[in-house]
């Protein structure tokens, strides 16, 4: 009977109960009906224990660092740098928008922050230069999903914590897919610019201009180096690296660029605190939910059902990608990972998909969902920043979504794309004597 908590949870979710309450109400009601009242106390304890986590602290810290960088005018410098690098390409400002998102991704890890920071600056600029507003908003929304793919990434920290994976391995596995999405979007922009009526490109920046823009962007661009260098060098844990990123962002914004004052600090800290509180409660509730998932044997039942559809992991991966894509249309990436990770990951790991590979496929797929209608979070942010209707942006974003879907399939069926960097840096645990392929794509676990 306990297994009925899953449909009940889905029902609560569909009718609009906040995810936090749904994660607790559905298992709580079923435990109560099952006469297991004492286990409801266990739910509460697991919420608390789930929140009491040092690795999770990295989420508010990375958000804080990104917010400080943004307040400190660092976004502007990234845009100027991108302008000097790719402003002369076909579809100039659109290319600048995409490259800026890739660079911003290395600082913040949040698609929403990316859309609001870059959108408020670049959408009016693109419109002024002759781009249609809906196109400018669509490019901003589509490229912002790179934020949580290229490290640091809030949703990857959540995945790593909920599923007990290495944050460093997930961060590393996200680099190539993130760059791939960026390059793909740039290629589509180039194609659209060639065949559309976009304004002429700007003249190529001189070496002097490039040098000046690089100098101005030097300190902000050092942030991902500090974060990843600290983690990969074994010098710092991801949480420590995130705190170091906050300190660095503060020093750059307040003392080097002098573009943020002490007065701005409380607001920046409050934003991070509010985000932290919601994410922590959500993760805590997810850990409680996960306990009931295990108690109910729901994953086993679901696995049996999924395996009746096909035994071929490739077919199942296709089906799961479709499922994740549909889920991503309605639910934000964080809660979706929290809910589906503990249910789906064990099934695919037993089929021979590496845990880190599955984590990346799931994270990228659900992140792309942030830009898909009807409930894509960044579509709404892009709409509020640009003043364009959500449905208009949703239509304009379709060519970019096609590229992102193609990347999802590439990383699904070619684990080498995401797994090589963590393998090269020794962040994938391999059995002794295992070859590269055996390491990144292990044998299925006999059932």
Partner 1 sequence: MPVILLAARALAAFNAPVLAVGRGIAIVLMALMVLVILAQIFFRFVIGDALNWTEEAARFMMLWVAGVAAPTAYRRGGFVAIDMVVLMMPRIIGSLLTLFLLFLALIVLVVGVQIGWGEVTGFGGRFATAALKYPTDLGFETWVKVPRSWMMASLLVGVTSMAIVNVELILRAIATMAGREADLPVIPESASVGAE
Q: Minimum distance between the CB of residue 119 and partner 1, rounded to whole angstroms?
A: 15
Q: Which is nearer to partner 1, 19 or 303 (CB)?
A: 19
Which of 126, 150, 377, 419 lies at the binding interface for partner 1 (CB under 8 A)?
377
Question: What phi and psi, each to the nearest 5 degrees, are found at residue 383?
Answer: -65, -45
Cα separation, 355 vs 205, in Å, equals 44
**Residue in 277, 310, 311, 438 binding partner 1, rule: CB under 8 A:** 277
Nearer to partner 1, 53 or 392 (CB): 53
The tokens describing 158, both together, are 């959540």
The owner of tokens 């001189």 is: 206
C-beta of residue 313 within 8 angstroms of C-beta of residue 353: yes
Give the Cα separation of 17 and 8 in Å (integer).
11
297: left (phi over 0), alpha (psi -120 to 50) or beta: left
| Shortest distance (Å) from residue 56 CB to partner 1 | 8
Is the Cβ of residue 2 or residue 158 nearer to partner 1 in the bound state?
Answer: 158
Distance of CA 306 to the CA centre of its chain: 26
Phi, psi of 9 (to 5 degrees): -60, -45
Do residues 379 and 371 make contact, with C-beta atoms less than 8 angstroms apart? yes
Interface residue with partner 1 among 48, 218, 305, 413 (CB under 8 A) is 48
Phi first, then psi, for residue 116 (nearest 5°) are: -75, -35
Report which DSSP code applies to 397.
Answer: T
Interface residue with partner 1, options 7, 54, 326, 352 (CB under 8 A): 54
Q: How far is the CB of 310 from partner 1 (least distance, A)?
A: 29
| Footprint of partner 1 on 63-102 (CB under 8 A) | 63-64
CB 345 within 8 A of CB 359: yes
Query: In residues, how long is the chain?
Result: 447
Considering only residues 137 through 166, tell me which ones interact with partner 1, judged by CB under 8 A.
148, 154-155, 157-158
Q: Could you say which of 33, 41, 309, 398 contacts partner 1 (CB under 8 A)?
A: 41
Helices (H), 200-297: 207-232, 238-250, 265-296
Pick the binder of partner 1 from 2, 59, 324, 359 (CB under 8 A): 59
Q: How many CA atoms lie within 13 A of 162 on its CB side?
A: 36
- Show contacts with partner 1 in window 321-360 (CB under 8 A): 330-335
Residue 279 found at the interface with partner 1 (CB under 8 A): yes
Residue 152 and residue 63 in contact, taking contact as beta carbons nearer than 8 Å = no
Nearer to partner 1 by Cβ, of 24 and 347: the residue is: 24
Report 100-129 residues binding partner 1 (CB under 8 A). 110-112
For partner 1, the binding residues in 217-236 under the rule CB under 8 A are: 235-236
Question: Residue 19 corresponds to which tokens in the numbers above?
Answer: 């995810």
Q: Is 367 in the site for partner 1 (CB under 8 A)?
A: yes
Q: Which is nearer to partner 1, 8 or 410 (CB)?
A: 8
Site for partner 1 in 257-276 (CB under 8 A): 265-266, 269-270, 272-276
How many residues bind partner 1, per CB under 8 A?
74
**Considering the complex, what minimum distance in angstroms separates the CB of residue 233 from partner 1?**
11
Give least dist CB 242 to partner 1, A: 8
């Amino acid at each position: 009977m306990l297994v009925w908590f899953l449909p009940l949870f889905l029902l609560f979710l569909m009718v609009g109960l906040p995810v936090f309450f749904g994660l607790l109400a559905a298992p709580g009601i079923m435990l109560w009906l099952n006469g297991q009242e004492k286990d409801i106390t266990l739910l509460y304890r697991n919420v608390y224990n789930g929140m009491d986590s040092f690795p999770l602290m990295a989420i508010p810290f990375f958000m804080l660092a990104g917010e400080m960088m943004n307040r400190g005018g660092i976004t502007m410098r990234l845009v100027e740098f991108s302008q000097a690098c790719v402003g002369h390409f076909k579809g100039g400002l659109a290319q600048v928008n995409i490259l800026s998102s890739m660079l911003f991704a290395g600082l913040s890890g949040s698609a929403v922050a990316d859309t609001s920071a870059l959108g408020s600056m670049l959408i009016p600029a693109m419109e002024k230069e002759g781009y249609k507003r809906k196109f400018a908003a669509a490019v901003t929304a589509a490229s912002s999903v790179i934020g949580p793919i290229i490290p640091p990434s809030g949703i990857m920290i959540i995945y790593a914590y909920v599923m007990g994976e290495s944050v460093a391995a997930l961060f590393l596995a996200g680099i190539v897919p993130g760059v791939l999405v960026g390059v793909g979007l740039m290629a589509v922009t180039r194609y659209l610019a060639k065949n559309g009526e976009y304004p002429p490109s700007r003249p190529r920046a001189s070496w002097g201009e490039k040098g000046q823009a690089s100098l101005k962007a030097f300190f902000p661009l050092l942030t991902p180096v500090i974060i990843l260098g600290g983690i990969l060098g074994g010098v710092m844990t991801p949480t420590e690296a995130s705190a170091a990123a906050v300190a660095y962002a503060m020093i750059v914004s307040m003392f080097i660029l002098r573009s943020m004052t002490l007065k701005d600090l409380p607001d920046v800290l409050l934003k991070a605190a509010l985000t932290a509180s919601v994410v922590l409660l959500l993760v805590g509730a997810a850990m409680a939910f996960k306990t009931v998932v295990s108690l109910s044997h729901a994953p086993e039942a679901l696995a049996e059902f999924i395996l009746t559809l096909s035994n071929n992991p490739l077919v199942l991966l296709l089906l799961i990608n479709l499922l994740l894509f549909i889920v991503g249309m309605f639910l934000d990436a964080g809660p979706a990972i929290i809910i589906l990770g503990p249910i789906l990951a064990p099934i695919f790991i037993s089929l021979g998909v590496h845990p880190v590979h599955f984590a990346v496929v799931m994270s990228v797929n659900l992140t792309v969902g942030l830009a898909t209608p009807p409930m894509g979070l960044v579509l709404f942010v892009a709409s509020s920043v640009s003043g364009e209707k959500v449905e208009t942006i949703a239509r304009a974003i379709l060519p970019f979504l096609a590229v992102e879907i193609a990347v999802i399939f590439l990383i699904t069926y070619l684990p080498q794309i995401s797994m090589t960097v963590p393998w090269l840096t020794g962040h994938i645990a391999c059995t002794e004597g295992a070859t590269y392929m055996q390491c990144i794509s292990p044998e299925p676990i006999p059932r």
